[in-house]
C-alpha cells in the first residue's frame, strides 16, 4: 500500500536543503558549520528556591498541606521500620521472634525513604508505578498493606503474591503497583507500555511512573524505552535512584557522564538532578514531572542519595564502601531532616512525632506477627497461576471499535495479495484474523518493524493501517527488547497488543522480556495479573537466508513455563488459532512459516466469519493405521506428501497428527493415534539436539511403552547453523524423503531408491551432484545424519 502524501513528504531531504528551509537554525560558525545546542538540565532546583525551603514555608505558600507533610514522614518511618525489621529477622535480632529462620532475598531501602515517599506523594491513587528488586519502599509508599507484604516475604499463602514472588516480585495491581522485577532494568519497557495504555485508552488524569537503579541506565532497553516514550509522546516519568553504584561497580567504571541526567538529551526528554535525601525536593520534582506527563511529555528525574546497607544483606559491603562514607551520608538522613524541620517550624510537636513513630512501630510488629503466623501454600498448588485460561468472549461496550465497514472485515480472495482461485492464502488468513479481532475490540493493536504502510516484511499486515489508523498499527524502531517489553506493560494494564518480530531469529534480542517478563509475571504475582499478549513471528528455511534468518526457536520457547506456543500449518488453522491467541488472557508466541505465506498449494476455503480454535487440540490431518507421524507447522505438508507416496508405493497407511500448538500440546491425541499404530515418527524442521521431537518421543515411550512395536524415530534438521548455499541447505533440512526413509525403517520395509534423500539431492537437485563431497563423520547425530551418510558415501 502507498502511504499518504503527508507522510511521504516527511522523508529526509539533502542536508543543504534542510538547512536552507529551517529558519529556526542558528547562523553558521566559521569552521564549525551550524552548531546545535543539545539543551540543558537543572540540578538541585529546590534547594536554590528560597520560597520553598522549609516545611513552614511550604504550608504558608499552600503548596503542601500539614497532613501531606505528616503523611510523607509517616510513610518514610513505615518504610524504615519495615526494612529494619527484615534486618532484625535476618540476623536473629528480633527478641520477639528468637530463632526465626528468614530466607529469601534482602535488598533493603533504608536511607532512600525520601525518594519513594516524595515521588508517590506527588502521584494520584490511579497512577501506575513499577518497581525494582529493592522495591519494599515503593510498594509501601503506594499504599500497600505491610501485613500482606510481610507474609509475601515469608512465602505465605496470605501474601500479596501467595508466596510465589517473594521480596523481589511484590505487586499490588489494585493500587496501580504493576510489580517489582528482579531483572535490573526490565521495568523500563513495562512502564512505557503502561504509559501507552493511558494514552491509547485516553485515561484522564493518569500517568505512569517507574523507579530504577542507576546501574540500569546502561542497559540497551533503557535507551530503547526512552526513545519510544519520546517518539510516541507518552505520559511517563522515569525515576532514577542514583547511589553511585551498580551492585558493587562504581559509577565512574560504567559511564563517562558527570550527571546521569545527561542521558536524556539524546532523546529530547526533560531531565533533572534532585537531592534525593530531601523529601520536599523530591516531591517538588515529581509534581512538576507529573504535570508534564499529563501533557504527554516524558521526564527522567535523577534522585541522588544512598542507602544504609549494601546491595544485599548477604554481601560484604566493605569491599566497595567505607565506614567513613556511610557516616558522611548518615548526616543527610531524610527522615531526620523532615522530622527536625517539622518540629522546628512547629508543624508538629516532639510528642506528636513520638506518637506517630510508636503507631508505625506497632503496625510493623503486627505485620511481622501476621506473616509468621500465616500458613504456607499447599505443595500441590505449586503450578497454580501459570495460565489464565480465560478467553475474552464478550468485549465490554466501551472497548468496541466503531465505524468499521463490514467490507473491511473480509479479505478479498480474488486478489493475489491474499487469495488464490477464490481461496485464502496462509498470510491472507492471518490478515483476516487480525482485521476481524481489531474491529471487534479497540484494545487490540499491532506494533512492529515496517508493519504499517509497508505491510511487514512479508506483507501480512497490508491494508490494516488504512482501516485502523497509525495508532493501532504502529511502526517501531529496531529495538525488539524495548517494544516487546512495552507490549508486556500494555497488556498488564488493559490493552491487547499483537507485536510482530520480523524474523524468529530476532526473538533472541527480546528473550529477557519474553522469558523473565511476560511469561513469568502472572505466576510471580500470584495469578492476579493478566497478560493478553500475542507475539507474532515466523521461521523456516528453504530460501537461502542462512544462519540468522532461518532458525527455529520453538523448542527453546516451549521450555518457558507460562508461555503458550502456537504453530499453525494451514490457513484455516492460522485464522482460528490467531483469533484464540488474541482473545485469551495469556502470553502467546504465534509462529508462522515464511514458505507458507504465499504457497498456493495450501490455499483453502476459509470461512469469512470469525471463529476460534482452542489451544491444546491436535488435528488429524490424515487418518492411518500403520504408523503415526507427529509434526507441526510446515512439516505437516511434507508429512502429508510422504504419506501419499507411502500409501501408493508401499501400502503403508500413515496417520499424520498436526499438533498445532506445542505449549500446550495434545498428548492424549498423540497417544490415541500411537495406540492404534504402534509406531511413530516425530518430525520437525528444528535441529535435532534439544528439539521438541525429543519431548514427543520421551512422552510416547513413557505413556505408551506397552503399545510400542519399535523405537520412536526422530526426523529433524541437522545439528548445524542453517547454511545459505542451496545444496547445503537442501541437505540440512528434512523433507518428505527423510520421512519416507524413516517410515520404511520403522516398518521394516525396503525403500525404493527413487524415494530417498539421495535421489532428491542427486536427482531432483542434480545440479548439486558434482559438488558433493564424501561425508566422513563418526557416529550419526540423528536419523537425518544416517541418511546423509548414505547419500554422500554412495551407498543405499
Q: Is residue 744 part of a domain?
A: yes
* Position 82 pLDDT exceeds 60: yes
* Position 370 pLDDT exceeds 70: yes
Which CATH number do you get for residue 744?
3.40.50.920
DSSP conformational letter for 712: P
Task: Give yes or no: residues 364 and 439 share one domain.
Answer: no
Task: Give yes or no: residues 278 and 326 share one domain.
Answer: yes
* Domain edge (last residue) among 570, 602, 634: 602
Q: Tell me which of 699 and 770 has the higher pLDDT.
A: 699
* Domain edge (last residue) among 341, 365, 380: 380
Task: Give yes or no: residues 743 and 672 share one domain.
Answer: yes
Rounded to the nearest 10 degrees, the angle between the axes of helix 187-200 and helix 480-492 is: 60
Q: What SS3 class is residue 702?
A: helix
Q: What is the mean pLDDT of residues 389-411?
A: 91
pLDDT band at 368 (very low <50, low <70, confident <90, very high): very high
Q: What is the mean pLDDT of residues 367-388?
A: 95
Per the residue annotation, which of 107, 549, 637, 755 is the catalytic one? 549
Residue pair 490/512 in contact (Cβ under 8 Å)? The answer is no
**What residue numbers bound the domain in which 643 lies?**
622-752
pLDDT in tens, 553-584: 999 999 999 999 999 999 999 999 999 999 99
pLDDT of residue 165: 94
Task: Give yes or no: residues 345 and 458 share one domain.
Answer: no
pLDDT band at 50 (very low <50, low <70, confident <90, very high): low
Residue 353's region, left for phi above 0, alpha for psi from -120 to 50, else beta, is alpha
Task: Give yes or no: residues 631 and 687 share one domain.
Answer: yes
Q: Tell me which of 755 and 779 has the higher pLDDT.
A: 755
Among 415-419, 458-462, 771-775, the least confident range: 771-775
Model pTM? Answer: 0.93
pLDDT of residue 54: 75
Among 54-68, 361-375, 461-475, 744-758, the least confident range: 54-68
Q: What is the mean pLDDT of residues 348-374?
A: 97
Task: Give yes or no: residues 349 and 415 share one domain.
Answer: no
Q: Is residue 490 part of a domain?
A: no
Alpha helices in 495-552 (DSSP H): 511-512, 521-524
Pairing of strands 177-180, 128-131: parallel
* Domain edge (last residue) among 752, 770, 789: 752
Task: Give yes or no: residues 249 and 354 share one domain.
Answer: yes
Residue pair 191/238 in contact (Cβ under 8 Å)? The answer is yes
Q: What is the mean pLDDT of residues 464-470?
A: 96
Task: Give yes or no: residues 333 and 429 share one domain.
Answer: no
pLDDT of residue 229: 98
Q: For the chain, what percentages of helix, strand and coil (3-state, to nearest 5) are there?
A: 45, 15, 40
Q: Is residue 398 part of a domain?
A: no
Q: What is the mean pLDDT of residues 104-131?
A: 96
pLDDT of residue 52: 55
Task: Give yes or no: residues 95 and 240 share one domain.
Answer: yes
Task: Give yes or no: residues 630 and 561 share one domain.
Answer: no
Q: How many independent structural domains does the chain possess?
A: 3
Q: Is residue 540 part of a domain?
A: yes
* Position 21 pLDDT exceeds 80: yes
Give the position of cell 500539614.
Answer: 66
Task: Give yes or no: residues 168 and 262 share one domain.
Answer: yes
Q: What SS3 class is residue 273?
A: strand
Q: Is residue 607 part of a domain?
A: no
pLDDT of residue 287: 97
Which CATH number do you get for residue 317?
3.40.50.970
Task: Give yes or no: residues 193 and 271 share one domain.
Answer: yes
pLDDT in tens, 602-635: 999 999 999 999 999 999 999 999 999 999 999 9
d(CA 264, CA 335): 30
d(CA 209, CA 119): 9
pLDDT of residue 793: 40
pLDDT in tens, 266-321: 999 999 999 999 999 999 999 999 999 999 999 999 999 988 888 888 877 777 78
pLDDT of residue 3: 76
pLDDT of residue 780: 41
Instruction: Indicate the length of the chain as a whole number.
Output: 796
pLDDT of residue 779: 40
Q: Is residue 762 part of a domain?
A: no
pLDDT of residue 791: 41
* 549 included as an active-site residue: yes
pLDDT band at 1 (very low <50, low <70, confident <90, very high): low
pLDDT in tens, 439-465: 999 999 999 999 999 999 999 999 999
> How high is the mean pLDDT of the chain?
91
Annotate 753-774 with DSSP letters as a single string: GGGSHHHIIIIITGGGGGG---
Pairing of strands 423-424, 444-448: unpaired
d(CA 569, CA 582): 18
Pairing of strands 563-566, 661-663: antiparallel
pLDDT of residue 773: 44
Cβ neighbours, 10 Å, residue 21: 9
pLDDT band at 792 (very low <50, low <70, confident <90, very high): very low
Nearest to 736 by CA among 639, 654, 658: 639
pLDDT in tens, 128-183: 999 999 999 999 999 999 999 999 999 999 999 999 999 999 999 999 999 999 99
Q: Is residue 442 part of a domain?
A: yes
φ, ψ for residue 571, nearest 5 deg: -60, -40
d(CA 347, CA 339): 10
Q: Is residue 500 part of a domain?
A: yes
Amino acid at each position: 500500500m502507498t502511504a499518504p502524501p503527508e507522510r511521504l513528504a516527511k522523508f529526509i531531504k539533502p542536508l543543504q536543503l534542510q538547512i536552507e528551509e529551517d529558519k529556526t537554525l542558528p547562523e553558521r560558525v566559521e569552521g564549525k558549520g551550524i552548531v546545535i545546542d543539545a539543551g540543558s538540565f537543572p540540578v538541585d532546583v529546590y534547594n536554590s528556591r528560597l520560597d520553598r525551603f522549609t516545611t513552614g514555608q511550604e504550608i504558608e505558600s499552600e503548596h503542601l498541606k500539614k497532613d501531606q507533610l505528616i503523611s510523607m514522614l509517616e510513610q518514610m518511618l513505615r518504610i524504615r521500620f519495615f526494612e529494619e525489621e527484615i534486618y532484625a529477622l535476618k540476623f536473629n535480632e528480633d527478641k520477639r521472634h528468637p530463632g526465626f529462620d528468614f530466607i529469601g532475598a534482602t535488598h533493603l531501602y533504608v536511607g532512600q525513604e525520601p525518594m519513594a515517599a516524595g515521588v508517590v506523594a506527588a502521584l494520584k491513587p490511579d497512577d501506575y508505578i513499577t518497581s525494582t528488586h529493592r522495591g519494599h519502599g515503593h510498594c509501601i509508599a503506594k499504599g500497600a498493606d505491610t501485613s500482606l507484604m510481610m507474609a509475601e516475604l515469608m512465602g505465605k499463602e496470605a501474601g500479596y503474591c501467595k508466596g510465589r514472588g517473594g521480596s523481589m516480585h511484590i505487586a499490588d495491581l489494585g493500587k496501580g503497583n504493576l510489580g517489582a522485577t528482579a531483572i535490573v532494568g526490565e521495568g523500563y519497557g513495562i512502564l512505557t507500555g503502561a504509559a501507552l495504555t493511558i494514552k491509547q485508552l485516553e485515561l484522564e488524569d493518569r500517568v505512569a511512573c517507574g523507579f530504577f537503579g542507576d546501574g540500569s541506565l546502561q542497559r540497551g532497553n533503557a535507551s530503547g524505552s526512552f526513545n519510544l516514550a519520546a517518539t510516541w509522546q507518552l505520559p511517563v516519568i522515569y525515576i532514577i535512584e542514583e547511589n553511585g553504584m551498580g551492585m558493587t561497580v562504581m559509577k565512574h567504571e560504567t559511564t563517562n557522564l558527570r550527571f546521569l541526567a545527561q542521558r536524556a538529551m539524546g532523546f529530547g526528554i526533560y531531565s533533572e538532578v534532585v537531592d534525593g535525601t530531601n523529601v520536599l525536593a523530591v516531591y517538588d520534582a515529581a509534581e512538576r514531572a507529573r504535570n508534564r506527563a499529563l501533557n504527554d511529555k516524558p521526564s527522567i528525574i535523577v534522585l541522588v542519595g544512598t542507602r544504609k546497607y549494601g546491595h544485599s544483606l548477604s554481601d560484604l559491603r566493605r569491599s566497595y564502601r567505607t565506614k567513613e562514607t556511610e557516616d558522611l551520608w548518615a548526616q543527610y538522613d531524610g527522615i531526620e531532616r523532615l522530622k527536625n524541620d517539622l518540629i522546628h517550624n512547629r508543624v508538629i510537636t516532639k510528642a506528636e512525632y513520638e506518637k506517630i513513630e510508636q503507631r508505625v512501630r506497632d503496625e510493623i510488629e503486627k505485620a511481622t506477627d501476621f506473616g509468621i503466623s500465616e500458613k504456607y501454600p499447599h505443595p500441590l498448588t505449586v503450578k497454580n497461576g501459570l495460565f489464565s485460561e480465560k478467553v475474552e468472549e464478550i468485549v465490554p461496550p466501551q472497548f468496541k471499535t466503531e465505524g468499521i465497514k463490514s467490507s473491511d472485515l473480509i479479505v478479498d480472495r480474488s486478489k493475489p495479495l491474499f487469495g488464490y482461485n477464490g481461496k485464502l492464502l496462509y498470510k491472507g488468513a492471518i490478515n483476516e484474523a487480525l482485521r476481524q479481532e481489531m474491529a471487534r475490540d479497540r484494545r487490540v493493536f499491532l506494533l512492529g518493524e515496517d508493519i504499517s504502510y509497508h505491510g511487514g516484511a512479508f506483507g501480512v499486515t497490508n491494508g490494516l493501517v488504512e482501516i485502523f489508523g497509525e495508532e493501532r498499527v504502529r511502526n517501531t524502531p529496531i529495538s525488539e527488547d524495548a517494544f516487546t517489553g512495552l507490549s508486556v506493560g500494555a497488556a498488564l494494564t488493559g490493552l491487547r497488543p499483537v507485536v510482530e518480530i520480523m524474523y524468529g531469529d530476532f526473538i533472541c534480542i527480546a528473550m529477557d522480556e519474553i522469558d523473565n517478563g511476560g511469561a513469568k509475571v502472572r505466576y510471580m504475582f500470584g495469578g492476579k495479573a493478566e497478560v493478553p499478549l500475542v507475539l507474532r513471528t515466523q521461521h523456516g528455511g528453504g530460501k537461502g537466508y542462512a544462519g540468522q534468518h532461518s532458525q527455529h526457536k520453538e523448542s527453546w520457547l516451549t521450555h518457558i513455563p507460562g508461555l503458550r506456543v502456537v504453530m499453525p500449518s494451514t490457513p484455516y488453522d492460522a485464522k482460528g488459532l490467531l483469533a484464540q491467541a488474541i482473545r485469551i488472557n495469556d502470553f502467546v508466541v504465534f509462529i508462522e512459516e515464511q514458505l507458507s505465506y504465499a504457497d498456493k498449494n495450501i490455499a483453502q476455503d476459509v470461512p469469512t466469519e470469525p471463529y476460534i480454535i482452542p489451544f491444546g487440540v491436535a488435528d488429524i490431518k490424515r487418518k492411518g493405521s500403520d504408523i503415526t507421524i507427529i509434526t507441526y507447522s510446515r512439516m505437516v505438508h511434507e508429512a502429508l506428501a510422504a504419506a501419499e507416496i507411502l500409501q501408493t508405493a508401499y501400502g503403508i497407511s500413515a496417520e499424520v497428527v498436526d499438533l498445532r500448538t506445542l505449549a500446550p500440546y495434545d498428548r492424549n491425541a498423540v497417544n490415541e493415534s500411537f495406540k492404534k499404530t504402534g509406531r511413530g515418527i516425530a518430525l520437525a524442521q528444528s535441529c535435532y539436539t534439544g528439539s521438541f521431537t525429543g519431548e514427543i518421543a520421551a512422552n510416547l515411550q513413557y505413556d505408551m511403552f506397552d503399545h510400542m512395536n519399535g523405537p520412536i524415530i526422530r526426523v529433524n534438521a541437522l545439528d548445524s547453523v542453517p547454511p545459505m548455499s542451496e545444496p547445503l541447505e537442501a541437505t540440512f533440512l528434512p523433507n518428505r524423503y527423510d520421512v519416507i526413509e524413516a517410515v520404511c525403517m520403522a516398518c521394516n520395509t525396503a525403500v525404493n531408491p527413487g524415494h530417498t534423500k539421495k535421489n532428491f539431492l542427486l536427482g531432483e537437485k542434480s545440479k548439486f551432484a558434482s559438488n558433493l563431497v564424501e561425508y566422513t563423520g563418526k557416529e550419526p547425530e540423528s536419523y537425518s545424519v544416517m541418511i546423509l551418510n548414505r547419500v554422500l558415501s554412495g551407498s543405499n
